[in-house]
Structure 1
Amino acid sequence: MATFQPQHGEHCETTTLRNMLHQAGADLSEAMLFGLGQGIDFQYWDAPDPGRAAPMLTGRIEPARLSRNACSALGVELHALRAPDAETAHTAAADLLRSGHVVGVSVDIFHLDYFTSRSHFAAHYIALYGLDDTHAHVVDTGQQGGARTLPVASLRQARASDEGFMPSPHLYLYVEQVPERLATDPDAVLREQIWHAVRTTAERMTEDRGPRYGIPALRRAASEAAGWHDTLASPQETVPGVGRFWRFAGTGGANFRTLYRAFLQEAARLCDDGELNFFAAEFSDVERQWDEAIELLTAYPGADGRRQLQSVAARLEAIADAEQALFEGLLVPAAKRAGDPA
C-alpha cells in the first residue's frame, strides 16, 4: 500500500486501531484511543488447569470492545466481521487492502514466525497493510518490532487458530472514512468526548461487577496470590511467569496504567484542565506500585517464597485501594464536566 505510514504503539489493539484510523485520515495517539476506548480494567479469568497454572489476570476490557468504544466516541464506523473459513478471510482482507483500507486481524501469536513465545495466545491483534502471494506486511507492537513481514502461510495459521486465550478465528476489523471534522479539527472532537469517556470509565471501575471484574477482581487476585506457594504445582516456574506477563505482555495489568496516565496527561493539555494533571500524577504512583509487585513476582525464590508472595498480596491490595480512590476521585469532576457527548 503505497500511501501507508506505520504508526507505532505498545499495545496490540490500540496499535492496530491507530493504524486503521491513520490510514483513514485521523492522526490520534495510542493513549488517546485507549482512554476514549475506556480500555482500563482488571479481569480475572480462571486457569483452564487450576493448580498447574495461575489464572489469567488482565488489565484491560475485552478484546474489540475498546475499538468499538473509541470509534463510537469519534463518530467512526467500525466493521467487525468473522469469515467462515480461511479462504474467505484471506479474500476479504485482500479486497479491503485493494480498496485502501488497513485491516485489523485477530491472531494467535504461536503461529507468527517473528514471535519468540511458544505459547498459544489468540487475543492478539495486528494491522495488515500489504499482501501478495507469499508475504504479508503487518504492524505489530513496538516490542515485536513494529512493521514486520511474515509468510502468508504463517498469517493464515495465526488467523485460523482456535487455541489459547479468547480465540476469534478469522475475525477482522476495518473502519470507513473518518468524518471530515475529525480529520480537520481533531482536538475539538476530542475535547467534546474526553470527559464523557473518563466518567464512563470511572463509573465502571467503581461499581461492583462481581469477583471477575474491576477492583473486586484485583482484591481476589491479591488474596489468592498469597497462597500460590502452596496451591500451584510448580510455583517456581508459574509465579515468575505471572510477573513477566504483567511486564511484557500487551494484556498485562501494569501496561495499561501507563497508557491511562498518558491519556490523562494528553487530555489535561487539550482541555487545559489542571485537575486531570493531578490524577495523571496519582497514576504515576500506581505505576510504581505495579512495578514493585512485578519485581517481587519475577524474583520469587521458590522454596522460601511464602513471605515474598505475602508481600505481593499486600502490594496488590494497596494497588486496589489506590485505584479505587483514584476512580472515585475522577468521578467527581467527570460528573460535573461530562454532558452528553456531541
Structure 2
Amino acid sequence: MLHHAGADISEPMLFGLGQGIDFQYWDAPGPGRGTPMLTGRIGPALLSRNACSALGVDLRESRASDPEAARAAAAELLEGGHVVGVSVDIFYLDYFSSRSHFASHYIALYGLDGSFAHVVDTDQQGGAQTLPEDSLRRARDSGEGFLPSPNLQLYVERLPRRLTDDLDAVLREQIWSAVRSTAQRMVGDRGQRSGLGALRRAATEIADWKDVPDELVAGVGRFWRFAGTGGANFRRLYREFLTEARRRSGDATLDEAVDDFADVERQWDKAIELLMSYPAAVDRHGRLADVEARLTAIADAERSAFERLLTVATKRVGEPA
C-alpha cells in the first residue's frame, strides 16, 4: 500500500518501525488441534498501525457489515486510486496450498473486474495472483480459524510530503525510537501469553508433548518454517532491519545487535529442525528435552540482546515519556 502511494520502504524496515517482533502463545483454537498456536510477531494490523504512526501516515481501517458492503467499499477505494489491504482466511484462497483455516492473513487488493479479484500476496504464495471474486468474498467473510477479522480492510491516505521528499531522513529519525519501544516491550514481564515469558512457557510445555501425535509435533516446526509465522523468519526480518538501520544511520553500535540476532536466528533454525525431524527420532523424549533446552537458550539470548539494545536506544533518544 505504501509503495503504491509513493514510499519505497523495505519490508524489514517496516517490520522494525512497526515493532513487529514478539512471541505469542495462543491456546489451541478448537477440538482436534493438540498444540497451541505459537507465533513470532505481534498482530499484523497492529504492526501496520505502528509503522504508519512512525512514518506519519494516516492509516484508515473499516469493517463492513456483510460481504456485499465490503465489496462495494473496496471497489470505491480502488476507483479512488488506492490499494486496499484486506484480512482473509487462507482456506478460501484458490492459490493457497494449505487446507487449514487461518484468518490472520492479509493481502493487498488492487483490482476487481466483476469476475476476478487481483491481489498481491507474499513471495512464498507467488506474489501477484488472480482469483475468482467469490473466493475472495468467502475468504474475507470467514469467521473461522485463528483471529478472524471478517470484512476488515485498510488503506493509506496521501503520504506526508516529507516522506516522499526526504524519506531517508524520516527513517533515520524513527529508527531508535522504534528500537527502544520494541526492546522495552520484549524485556518487560507480560505474563505467559506474550513475549519471552510465553517462549519459556512454550519450551516447558513442549517437553511434555510425549502424548502429542508425531505429525502434530513436526507440524509445529513446519508451520514455523514455511507459514512465515515462526521465530526464525521474524528474527531474520529484525536482523535485516537492524542491518539497514546500521547502514542508514552509520551507528556502529548496531553491529553487535546484528550479530546477536544472526545468532538467535541460527538457534531458531536448529529448534525448528529438531521439531521437523521428530517423527524419525529414536529417543522422542530426549528430542523434546532438546527442543526445550534450545528454546530456553533462545529466550535467554533474546533477553540479553534486547537489554543491550534498550541501553543503547535509551542513550540515543532518552527515556520514554
Query: Which TM bucket (shorter chain)?
Result: over 0.9
Letter in 2 for 1:312: V
Query: 1:278 offset after TM fit, Å?
Result: 1.6
Q: Work out the number of aligned pairs and report it.
A: 319
Query: 1:126 offset after TM fit, Å?
Result: 0.2
Letter in 1 for 2:298: I
The reply to whether residue 268 of structure 1 matches residue 252 of structure 2 is no
Query: 1:249 offset after TM fit, Å?
Result: 1.2
Match 2:55 to one of 71, 74, 79: 74
Match 1:61 to one of 29, 42, 49: 42
Distance, in Å, in 1 between the alignment partners of 2:156 and 2:237 is 23
Letter in 1 for 2:124: Q
Letter in 2 for 1:255: N
Shift in alpha-carbon separation, 1:50–1:273, aligned structure 2, 3 A: farther
The 10-residue stretch of structure 1 (295-304 or 40-49) with the greater mean CA deviation from structure 2: 295-304
Letter in 1 for 2:197: P
The reply to whether residue 240 of structure 1 matches residue 218 of structure 2 is yes
Match 2:300 to one of 285, 297, 321: 321
Distance, in Å, in 2 between the alignment partners of 1:250 and 1:264 is 19
Residue ranges of structure 2 left out of the alignment (5+ in a row): none
Match 1:46 to one of 16, 19, 27: 27
Distance, in Å, in 2 between the alignment partners of 1:217 and 1:340 is 26
Is the Cα–Cα contact under 8 Å of residues 20 and 47 in structure 2 kept in the other structure?
yes
In the TM superposition, what are the counterparts of 1:171-320 in structure 2 within 5 Å? 171-230=152-211, 232=212, 234=213, 236-301=214-279, 304-320=283-299
In the TM superposition, what are the counterparts of 1:94-113 in structure 2 within 5 Å? 94-113=75-94
Q: Residues 144-173 of structure 1, C-alpha deviation per residue, up to 9 Å, x if partnerless?
A: 000111110100000000000000000000
Partner of 1:338: 317
Is the Cα–Cα contact under 8 Å of residues 293 and 315 in structure 1 kept in the other structure?
yes
The 10-residue stretch of structure 1 (326-335 or 270-279) with the greater mean CA deviation from structure 2: 270-279
Match 1:86 to one of 42, 47, 67: 67
Partner of 1:7: none
Distance, in Å, in 2 between the alignment partners of 1:52 and 1:119 is 11
Q: Residues 236-290 of structure 1, C-alpha deviation per residue, up to 9 Å, x if partnerless?
A: 1100000001101122222100000000000001110111122011100101000
SS in 2 for 1:48: coil
Query: 1:50 offset after TM fit, Å?
Result: 7.3
Letter in 2 for 1:285: D
SS in 2 for 1:133: coil
Distance, in Å, in 2 between the alignment partners of 1:39 and 1:96 is 27
Report percent identity of matched pairs: 69
Is the Cα–Cα contact under 8 Å of residues 105 and 127 in structure 1 kept in the other structure?
yes
Is the Cα–Cα contact under 8 Å of residues 196 and 340 in structure 1 kept in the other structure?
no
Distance, in Å, in 1 between the alignment partners of 2:33 and 2:21 is 28
Which runs of 4 or more aligned residues in structure 1 lie more than 6 Å from their structure 2 counterparts after TM superposition?
none
Letter in 2 for 1:206: V
Query: 1:80 offset after TM fit, Å?
Result: 1.1
Distance, in Å, in 1 between the alignment partners of 2:45 and 2:251 is 30
Q: Residues 178-198 of structure 1, C-alpha deviation per residue, up to 9 Å, x if partnerless?
A: 111101110100111000000
TM-score (norm 1): 0.91
Distance, in Å, in 2 between the alignment partners of 1:313 and 1:322 is 14
Is the Cα–Cα contact under 8 Å of residues 218 and 279 in structure 2 kept in the other structure?
no
Partner of 2:117: 136
Shift in alpha-carbon separation, 1:158–1:51, aligned structure 2, 3 A: closer
Is the Cα–Cα contact under 8 Å of residues 83 and 110 in structure 2 kept in the other structure?
yes
Residue ranges of structure 1 left out of the alignment (5+ in a row): 1-19
Partner of 1:153: 134
Is the Cα–Cα contact under 8 Å of residues 232 and 266 in structure 2 kept in the other structure?
no
Shift in alpha-carbon separation, 1:330–1:219, aligned structure 2, 3 A: same
Q: What is the root-mean-square deviation in Å for CA atoms of aligned residues?
A: 1.4
